[in-house]
Structure 1
Amino acid sequence: MKTIYFNKNFSVTSAQIEAVRLEGRFSTLASHSDPDNVMMGAAARRVTEPRGLLGGAYVDWLLDTVKRERPEVFIVGKEAGAVAERRAEFLALGVQPLTVADAPTLRHLDRKDEFLNAWDTATLPVPAWTTFHDLGTFDAGVAELRAHPDFVTGITRLCVKPARGIYAAGFRVLTEGRDLGSFLKGELYQMSMGEAQRLFVQPEQAGDALPTMLLMHTLEGAERSIDCVAWNGRLAAAVVRRKLPDGGPQLIEDRPDLLQAARQIASTYRLSGIFNFQTKDAQLPGGERVPNMLEINARASGGLRYSMAAGINFASLAAGLALGELLPEDAPRPRTGIRVAEVKTALVLE
């Protein structure tokens, strides 16, 4: 039985490993620096990674592990860019490393300001945005975006987030003020304009600099996450899930427009493996709701479990494509029109 190797990655990887195990087509190998991580408990074989290894030293360790353990497919998590730069060394050992894209493309997608600058808005529009790196450019950006034709006082808000980051780290919606009600409701992703200005002036006072930050219009429509698998730029499967209010279940939708966007993304960046992109709806003056591109993640999303419930075994499909056992057109069609929820379970660790 051929083996899929998963190195250190986010917790959703354990769900991918479990799905592969239940399907029974592939064996699984996992490595992580924490021997009690859920990834390790889910895999048939496991290797403990040395702590603190980065860059070339970590890739050297991965190559030694691959040479010893002999997996056929490697779904790369940690240090995907460094692995992509040394792809030929993994291929020489008989393993297909799935880094989603080559190293320059990974860097491009990771830098959201560069990505948005180069994005083709004929595929999907983007919200109005700018960058800032200190209090002065923040204030100038606020004035610019408030003067933008799409800005409607009392409806459109602004948000900030780092140009480089994962999940919601550093994301805040800007408000004119904070009250006791918002505090008691636990609205963690909001920040008043005054709080933002006080925060962004501090690095200047300390002689430091902010990282490049994005300032954007906050769209108030439906938010969607699209989980995809591709091979050599050809889309095999995509699951469109709409996030319902209050953080509850998610709805798996049939959206040909977003499937076409997924095909275009896979082709443009020549992607191979599991990736994700995020959209949010803008409401046009006539009432039409149009999805806007927010970002592309060259990795599995944190909510991949929801999309897996629609009938796509993402890791197994990616491995089958990489090994030439499947073609993109062989991928199953996901179920649509269903609501899915995540149920946490306990796992006994050996």
Structure 2
Amino acid sequence: MSAPERVCRVWYNSAFSSIANVLTLIREADHAGRFHTMYTHPHAHTPAAGAAHEFHLEPKGLTAADYVDWCLQFCREHRIDVFAPAKHASALSAAPGRFLEHGVRVLSAAAADQLDIIDDKAAFYAGVDLPLAPPPDFRIFKDIAQFEAAHAELRPLHKELCVKPARSVYGLGFSVLDEERSSAALLLAGASYRIGLGDLRRGLAELETFRTMLLMEYLDGYEYSVDCVGANGHLVAAVARKKLPQPGQGQVIDMRADIVESCAKLAADFGLSGMFNVQFREGRGGLRLLEINARASGGIGMACLAGPNLPYLALVGFVDGHEGFGPEQLAVRDGLRVGELGTAVALP
């Protein structure tokens, strides 16, 4: 009788809330018990604590360099085989050799320099080449003079404009410019993600200089979120969701050829691996690229209802190679309508 296959010990460090779905999906698909998952977070009561086989606390307040050292020590103590970083991903992706010395393979979405470009939308938009879905028309600004110059260029070309930081997550800092109402009027009207143009101008003038911001054309069409699995620049699997604007209508799996082709090109251009997410939105000029997220999206559970178990494919493919995946593992139920319900959990 042959000896049982050694269990692969996999560590996911502190991540966004979607990590709970990622861990749950892996455990549901791992019928042979090949993988022992661990999750770490600086807060003991994180809702994702129970999603992995093991949960451990992370230290708080470490610099990126000190955090890399702590991760190395954690890998040694817990005999980690595969490390999939989210927190301080760029610093950890820059040190794969240090981990490999201890037998640990680092599953990163991209090389450190590419992750830094992806995270900076000003650099990302300026350098990306995507003919089927180019980025929105945009200008950068760091003071009121640059804002006024950018506004004078873009406003005659587009019906509405918006602003957002070059570096941000969850859409924090995004607002559509309203040329008629003040921010107070917008607040009282319950108009979210909008800011009065006059109020913005006054505020920017008071700040003098600030972090890099983007002034962009506002895209008012359908938004698409595409969860993907890559392998060294090759797109292995993708599930595209079209977000419907009406509340309660859910989302629709829409495998548009231009979207899938665009994701394949982005994977090749940025050398993407593991799990990543690409956001698109339609405007008057057609489909536009919004961003790449070097992680699973918040809607990963909905995407996987359409067929491929993307987190499991990403992990198994990294360990074994993706060549063995068959059509039954990659087939997508195009046109499926999906939605999401909140689930209550008892916290540790």
TM-score, normalization by structure 1: 0.90
RMSD, aligned CA = 1.8
| Kept after mapping to 2: 8 A contact 1:2/1:72 | yes
Structural mapping, 1:136-285, within 5 Å: 136-148=145-157, 151=158, 156-178=159-181, 182-204=186-208, 209-248=209-248, 249-284=250-285
Runs of 4+ off more than 6 Å: none
| Residue equivalent to 1:68 | 77
> Comparing 215-224 with 89-98, which one deviates more in the overlay?
89-98
Amino acid at match of 1:9: A
Q: What is the aligned counterpart of 2:296 among 289, 296, 300?
A: 300
Structure 1 residue 201: Cα displacement: 1.4
Moved more, 304-313 or 175-184: 175-184
The one-letter amino acid of 1:73's match is V
Give the match's secondary structure for 1:19.
helix
**Structure 1 equivalent of residue 4 of structure 2:** none
The answer to whether structure 1 residue 16 and structure 2 residue 14 are counterparts is no
Kept in 2: contact 1:229–1:317 (CA 8 A): yes
- Whether contact under 8 Å (1:227, 1:275) holds in the other structure is yes
Out of 16-25 and 266-275, give the one that drifted further. Answer: 16-25
CA-CA distance at 1:73 after TM superposition: 1.9
User: For residues 226 and 131 of structure 1, what CA distance do their matches in structure 2 show?
Assistant: 26
Instruction: Using the aligned pairs only, state the percent identity.
Output: 37
Alpha-carbon distance between aligned partners in 2 of 1:142 and 1:124, rounded to the nearest angstrom: 23
**Partner in structure 1 of residue 305 of structure 2:** 309
What is the match of residue 287 of structure 1?
none
- Give 1:61 deviation, angstroms: 0.8
Q: Which amino acid aligns with 1:314?
A: L
CA–CA separation in structure 2 for the residues paired with 1:328 and 1:161: 42
Report the CA distance between 1:177 and its aligned residue. 2.5
* Distance of 1:44 and 1:123 partners within structure 2: 42
Unmatched runs of 5 consecutive residues or more in structure 2: 1-6
Aligned-partner residue type, residue 274 of structure 2: G
Stretch moving more, 224-233 or 19-28? 19-28
3-state SS in 2 of match to 1:133: strand
Q: Which stretch shifts more, 123-132 or 109-118? A: 123-132
Distance 1:2 1:317, change over 3 A: same
**3-state secondary structure, aligned to 1:224:** strand
Residue number among 133, 155, 158 corresponding to 2:142 in the alignment: 133
1:130-149 CA distance string (max 9 Å, x none): 0111111111111100233x
Check 1:34–1:162 CA distance in 2 against 1; reply closer, same or farther (3 A cut). Answer: same
* Residues 186 and 195 in structure 2, CA contact (< 8 A), matched pair in contact too: no
Matched positions, count = 335
TM-score by length of 2: 0.91
Query: Which residue matches 2:3?
Result: none
